[in-house]
Structure 1
Amino acid sequence: MSEQRIINFMGRRKLAAAFSIAFLVAAIASLAINGLKFGLDFTGGTQIEVGYEQPANLDTIRKQLDNAGFEKAVVVHFGSETDVLVRMQRGFTPGLGDEVMEALSREAEGEIELRRVEFVGPQVGEELRDDGGLGMLFALAVVMLYVAMRFQYKFSIGAVAALAHDVILVLGFFSIIGMDFDLTVLAAVLAVIGYSLNDTIVVSDRIRENFRKLRGMTSLEVINVSLTQTLSRTLITSFTTLLVLLALFFFGGEMIHGFSTALLVGVLVGTYSSIYVAANVLLALNIDKEDLMQPIKEGEELDEMP
């Protein structure tokens, strides 16, 4: 081995476990008490697209809608600054588009155009919510099967524990701050599963390799060596990903604000879990080199004898 300084990650595993458990309890408690604030995609409602001649001021539009009785309407830019999308959690009624246009036309600079009015039924939203939940569970099941086949079942338990940890914390974050949970956020949660899995696979592959190479070390030492060797790759990947997500968060607009927020939280907790959660579970399951030794084929011992 080289003279690389080995970081004692697992020396703090109990503190990390307590940290994770505390945040998981807070997230689960918030999900149980407050639940998620589902957006229009899941609850059903009406969305109206309006075109302006001049760049639209979203704060002014929100005040106009509030004064007209359309409370808690979500107003975002849709593409350019002259295109506005209004979303409200209320059923479609004949003339709703005209009522909104009348409210917006009173103080509008220039003419405005009603481009489309769409209604999303609550039944469709409920189906999307159920299908999304089943999609996440299916993804976790496939991941567990894949990691068990590629590595060993103890690695699959660690990988799924890390992924479940990340998903619960992201969902708990949205529950605690009361941010809308829509289809873009669900897509981000699924992306977090893929990102976290990729990081965990890299770490697991190095742990398996070192268990076969570093025969004189304990399991804790082998995992510390493996985490140290993959640390630079993990940090560089996370840092470059965060740069892109920060750009989306600050300049991407309201339409993808929830998406970028979920990914920002997911990348941070995913980086943490690939180091402390997955490896911590491996130690808790008493992983050792015998679990990863390649089976000796029949007759191989005779061939190796002088």
Structure 2
Amino acid sequence: MRLKLVPKDSHWDFFSTTKITLGMSSLAVVASVILFFVMGLNFGIDFKGGTTIRTDSEVAVDVGAYRDALTPLNLGDVSITEIFDPTNPDQHAAQIRIQAQEGAESVSIEMITSVKEALLATDSSLTFPEVTSVGPKVSGELVQTAILAVVVAIAAVLFYIWLRFEWQFSVGAVTALVHDVLLTIGVFSVLQIKFDLAIIAALLTIVGYSLNDTVVVFDRVRENLRRYKKKPLRDVLNQSINETLSRTMMTSVTTLIALISLFILGGDVIRGFVFAMIWGVIVGTYSSVFVASAVLLKLGVKRDWSKEGNNPDAPTTQEAQA
């Protein structure tokens, strides 16, 4: 017995509540923008500046013990990551990142000395081969570069979809991507989860995931537009979404199973990244169906996709080959 997430021949009308879904999405986007300006984001060390200390030890790294030793120092945002080197399995190294203190370019020498003493109390074999600082100027440049990366990615998507389909498809896809990115930023603003370069990587991954779902639906829409030249666009879109719904749900559910496992078992280091991915998969799947396709329906699209004949019921190229 095979698992079926959706009926084999589904005939759901995804546009019966278009005004409601688009209205809710618009309100959510506006709320996300307002929350961003009112509450801001909880920027991590990458965007605030700070100091990175690398440690080497003769014994295995105990991240929990390191964190307990540094907590009484009240250093603010502290990130502790164990470093694995496949070429040197006997190496026991860690990277400790401490946010810049108020009014200071980086963590003071006295504070670094206190950190080293606290860590040595947990492991006397520790050495500190590298101490580096990221000042406000560098962190500001990272913010600008991160914003540029997201904007360029969305612009590239706009151009790609425009070439592959038509400008109406491109506008629908980019609207869905902007929707997904802004809602993710809004959630991070509300929950004040640490926002660092890993989250930027998650945003770019969300853009790719959401685009993949949207392109699958749009590709089926184009096939059906060739085949059913006289069928209303709303009916063609509904049929296309229903035909790809099983694939969409299976991809999303299996991805979420892996991400939820990582969120529970992966530890603090990747939890923010994984949370962003979980949220992105959910809103990305939603926007592919209820945002991108709804925008396409509003804009309309040409019907003479193919010169292969004038018969509205003629088979597509793929069907002829089959």
TM-score when normalising by structure 1 = 0.86
1-side partners of 2:265 and 2:71: how far apart?
26
Equivalent runs, 1:255-266 vs 2, <5 Å: 255-266=269-280
Q: State the superposition RMSD in angstroms.
A: 2.5
Stretches of structure 2 that go unaligned for 5 or more consecutive residues are: 1-7, 85-91, 101-105, 311-322
1-side partners of 2:247 and 2:307: how far apart?
33
**Could you report, residue by residue, the CA deviation over 1:229-284 in whole angstroms, capped at 9, with x for unpaired residues?**
00011111112222222232223332222221111111111011001100110122
Give 1:98's match in structure 2, choosing from 92, 103, 113: 113
Query: Match of 1:294, as an amino acid?
Result: W
Match of 2:98 in 1: 88
- Per the alignment, do residues 5 and 102 of structure 1 end up closer, same or farther by CA in structure 2, a change over 3 Å counting? closer
Stretches of structure 1 that go unaligned for 5 or more consecutive residues are: 302-306
- Per the alignment, do residues 135 and 75 of structure 1 end up closer, same or farther by CA in structure 2, a change over 3 Å counting? closer
Q: Report the Cα offset of residue 184 of structure 1.
A: 0.9
Q: Report the Cα offset of residue 42 of structure 1.
A: 1.4
Give 1:24's match in structure 2, choosing from 29, 33, 37: 29
Q: Number of aligned residue pairs: give it.
A: 291
Query: Match of 2:46, as an amino acid?
Result: D
1-side partners of 2:79 and 2:273: how far apart?
17
Q: Report the Cα offset of residue 19 of structure 1.
A: 2.2
Match of 1:138 in 2: 152
Q: Report the Cα offset of residue 95 of structure 1.
A: 5.2
Kept after mapping to 1: 8 A contact 2:180/2:287: yes
1-side partners of 2:51 and 2:93: how far apart?
17
- Per the alignment, do residues 124 and 55 of structure 1 end up closer, same or farther by CA in structure 2, a change over 3 Å counting? closer
TM-score when normalising by structure 2 = 0.82
Q: Report the Cα offset of residue 126 of structure 1.
A: 1.1
2-side partners of 1:182 and 1:26: how far apart?
22
Identity %: 38
1-side partners of 2:304 and 2:19: how far apart?
28
Kept after mapping to 2: 8 A contact 1:152/1:292: no
1-side partners of 2:60 and 2:177: how far apart?
46
- Per the alignment, do residues 63 and 224 of structure 1 end up closer, same or farther by CA in structure 2, a change over 3 Å counting? same
Please say if 1:162 is aligned against 2:172: no
Say which is worse superposed, 139-148 or 270-279, in terms of deviation: 139-148
Kept after mapping to 2: 8 A contact 1:65/1:73: no
Q: Report the Cα offset of residue 162 of structure 1.
A: 0.3
